[in-house]
Amino acid sequence: MAAPRIPVFRLSRMQRTLLLAALAAIGLLIPLAANNYVLEVLTNAWFYAILCLGLNIVVGYAGLLDLGYAAFFAVGAYTTGILSSQYGINFWLTIPVAVACSMLAGLIIGGPTLRLRSDYLAIVTLGFGEIVRIIARNLDITGGASGLIGIDRPSILGLELSKGIHFYYVFLLLAMLACFVSFRLQHSRLGRAWHYVREDEDAAEAMGIDRVAVKLQAYVIGAMFGGVAGCFFAAKMTAISPETFTFAQSVLILLGVVMGGMGKIPGVIVGAFALVLFPEVFRSMGSMRMLIFGIVMLGIMLYRPEGIWPQRSGTGER
């Protein structure tokens, strides 16, 4: 028997479009009513939403456990950082380079390791994450342990992006774009192939699906999301240091994906928001709040191992 299902409100296409439009309007209008603190927190939440959506392609869609996702985020941030602060290249021109570099990093780490089954992959990715951070810490071009400063702010049509509200909109738009791309990928031939491989690698292989190639694509596309998020992160902070890209950061992003519900776009966004908002909302409790955060997470994993977002029921309409 199937597990008991929580009733899901099934929306028509029209209703869904309206709901999305309403949510987008709220997202776009919130800055008008918010102070700087709230804006900063929400910007951070959108930023994590992008990273979580990127990792969701690897973990949620393709079913590959990646414990070093911060590495791709680091590659993006450092590419922009180096090109901008050391060579004075315009921010927008650094993006394609950063995307190419993070995709290349995805290929380098994924190519040889994706032939492994998932447990080994987790260890390799963990090591890779640390390697990237330690390289950044020890090279001159990356500024060593103190990192890079003086990264240029980008400008659009003469408007320099410097205020909190600018970056709020930048990350909001990027998150929307990430949702759109994720949705299109999920409901495509490639998205289905990821699902087949996740469910049964041998059967997928017998159906003519090249599992290594399909996983590699998930890896590279996930890396691209991380790279783009890294570029804008570098531009927003104007300074980056290796300590931003620790193992703890990778785990945090993974936590957002798992907690919200792997493979479900709204779930992943809820997870990212929970990740950022929870410690802020309970800030008054001081260091106790991380303890409570831990207990809440434990509760979620015990009672809703599928994540916060409800499972789609069986008929599979979409």
Partner 1 sequence: MALLEVEDLILSFSGLQVIRELGFQVAEGSIASLIGPNGAGKTSVFNCLTGFYRPGSGRITFAGASIIGHKPHRITRAGMARTFQNLRLFRSMTVLDNVMSGMHCRTSAGAFGAVFQTRNQRREEELIREVSEECLGFVGLLEQKNRRADTLAYGDQRRVEWARALATRPKLLLLDEPAAGLNHDEKQELIGLIQRIRDERGVTILLIEHDMGLVMKVSEKITVIDYGAKIAEGTAEEVQNDPRVIEAYLGTDEEELV
Q: Which residues bind partner 1 (CB under 8 A)?
A: 2, 181, 184-185, 188-193, 195-196, 199-200, 202-211, 217, 221, 314-317
Query: Which helix (DSSP H) or strand (DSSP E) does residue 46 occupy?
Result: helix 36-56
Query: Where in the chain does DSSP place strands (E)?
Result: 155-156, 159-160
Q: What share of the chain is helix, strand, coil (3-state, %, to 5)?
A: 75, 0, 25
Quote the CA–CA distance of 121 and 62 in Å, as a whole number: 13
Quote the CA–CA distance of 224 and 50 in Å, as a whole number: 11
* Token code pair at residue 285: 């409790």
Nearer CB in complex with partner 1: 205/243: 205
Q: How far is the CB of 206 from partner 1 (least distance, A)?
A: 6
Nearer CB in complex with partner 1: 143/226: 226
Region class of 169: left (phi > 0), else alpha (psi between -120 and 50), else beta = alpha
Q: How far is the CB of 237 from partner 1 (least distance, A)?
A: 29
Kindly report the three-state secondary structure assignment for every residue of 219-251.
Answer: HHHHHHHHHHHHHHHHHHHCCECHHHHCHHHHH
* Token code pair at residue 119: 């447990």
Nearer CB in complex with partner 1: 208/286: 208
Q: How far is the CB of 189 from partner 1 (least distance, A)?
A: 5
Nearer CB in complex with partner 1: 99/209: 209
Q: How far is the CB of 316 from partner 1 (least distance, A)?
A: 4
Nearer CB in complex with partner 1: 153/195: 195
Q: How far is the CB of 63 from partner 1 (least distance, A)?
A: 12
Q: Which of 243, 239, 214 has the alpha carbon at shortest distance from 58?
A: 214
Inter-CA distances, 38 with 45, 64, 125, 266, Å: 10, 34, 34, 21
Nearer CB in complex with partner 1: 16/184: 184
Q: How far is the CB of 215 from partner 1 (least distance, A)?
A: 13
